[in-house]
Structure 1
Amino acid sequence: MRVDAFKLPTDGPADVRGLTALLDDGVVRADELVCVLGKTEGNGGRNDFTRDLAMRALEDLLAPRLGLPPARVQDRVVFSLSGGTEGVVSPHVVAFARSGTWSEEPGPKRLVVGTAHTRPFTPAEIGRMPQIVETARAVAELAGELRLAPADVHLVQMKGAIPRADHEAVLAARRARTPLRNDMVHSRAASALGVALALGEVALADLSDDVVCDDWSLYSGVASCSAKPGLQRTEILMFGNSDRATGDLVVGHTVLKDILDVDAVRALLAELGLPVTGGQLSPEQRAHVVGVFAKSEADPRGSIRGRRHTMLSDDDIDDTRHSRAALAAVLASVVGDPCVYVSTRAEHHGPLGGGPLAIIARAP
């Protein structure tokens, strides 16, 4: 199996010229596309329709090439588009294509990518143990299909389920005295804990409904989850390194202790064969970096390294926009490229105030 990836700057949410050129030139085949991850220049909030615009443009591009109606394209290709390009972030997408079969003989570990879904959830299951356990099952099964040990999984990108709750579901929750957690916060949190359980980052005995969004010592260092109202099942996208894969791409990850953790960024780049010697990657090194993916969070304790921050008390600018801009600037300053993917809200994604970071690069 070989995975190829292409970083494509965009001039707007509906700009698919870069991917169109790859398809027209035969560099990529539509039926080999696995996923497209990227940043769009909306506000990143609930009313950010730049993501929908980008997905519509991708569906219209790929539908005739896949022989599918546009509404079915996302059954074949996963789109993970994050709104919000505050500060230095440059709008872009990274397209991943998979081809070939597994190598007969083991070799250097190279990037693999795969997709999976959980079963459909009921509103009452979101944010509770049924969502955690089912997410863990799907993640573990996908890792097995990709021939990945837990240590070889470096990024699990998810779109968490938030099924629609009708009047009967709300009444049933009230009668059971278990208020619904059918929202973005709890779906992201339970999804992340499901990844942590599947990969041995937390133990089943330490998990319960009560720890969700309460015990912040429990977290995943590789999960990156958003959540979508109306989605019945969680969509899962996994990146790891296998010794039966070919190609020239590798992925690595680390956990940032806070959004100023430059040392962890440099250490991860060094692990990928890209040591930072002058404060920033050289142009030659920079060309090896294909994708930078991170989660940011304004520390809810109100301080960073003992200093008070005002991200949570600013009535003019939402804290998500503050933290996204800050971490993106830190990452871009080291990598030397503003095409970085930073999404916000990190419930059980890394420690409080920190979060996971994954980088995909060409092996030097």
Structure 2
Amino acid sequence: MIPVEIYSIVYYFILSTIILLGIFPLFVKPNLESFPTINLKVTSVLLVLTTILFIGLRDPFGNWRYLGDTSQYTNVFFNFIDDPIYGIKSDYGFYLLMLFSKEYLNIYIFYVVCALLYVIPIYLVCKKYLDKYSLFAFIMFVSSMSFWSFGINGVRNGLATSIFLLGIYFYEKKWLMYSFIILSLSFHKSMILPFLAFLIAMKATNTIFLIRIWIVLVIVSYVFGSQVETFMSDFLLNSQILEDKRVDTYFSDEIDGEFIDRRYRLDLIIYSGIAILLAYYYKYKKGFNDIFYNRIVNTYIIANAIWVLLIYAAFTNRIAYLSWFIMPLVLVYPLIKNENLVKKQNLFIGLLVLGSLTFTLLIFFK
């Protein structure tokens, strides 16, 4: 058993080692066609197993300082889940999953099931849309800044986004796609944001126009941040859209006796903007045109624009994740679909992967 104090450190060490060894050929091979098939297959298997096992086999009673809300979920599992009132008003899909697990499984298997539901849909989406080279998209997912956190801390959010991605997996079968997307809402109500963005993106197809709106909102949020935050908090707290007592914590200056630093996060704006900048480059400078990609990009921009208005929220990363969870597809999908999109394609993909992994490690070890 890995001590809980170093559990995440060991995870990142193993993850980084697998990724770096797996992508090394990107820097020495001339093109993707010459990338060793053995690397593609073995690295994919190792990453799937590593993420599932580390997320699923973590200590259910581990200290919150190291494993986030894991112990809180464990407490609910043992002490509150039998009370039907607990799951009636919110997140009833997750409630039923936990209730079933307590009845027929145990806390350890419950977390393994959650890990499977979290990781497998991501792998399936990457495999379907990028086939042989799905590894690079999958790496972008598991090396992203929020992947580990939403596997062990914001579990409901993480599961909800993966179920949403499972809906995208069935993009050609609309009834299945929308069924899974609606199911994701039952795991976390916040999925209403990407769902609405996804619906709007079906009609709002002018990416340039959406990018301009995003830029304007970035400026508005910076200049009129406090006014926007007050309006949004009043709207959400007084409306019936999110009838959940947890909503008020997003706009509180103090939670559990601790001061919350709510400020304009320029670093996260830049992080989000990189995907938008590359999407603009792919679409308008290189002429990449793909119906599926266009909708994914527009969904990302719309959802991220809403987060920009809520950037002063206490848990701003959780709101941002409602767009970030599709960022890997925005970044690498065109590169793999069109081998002539950029010069030195292998190197460009390799640098994207290294950038993602490096940024994540810097955030974790800061």
Normalization by structure 1: what TM-score? 0.29
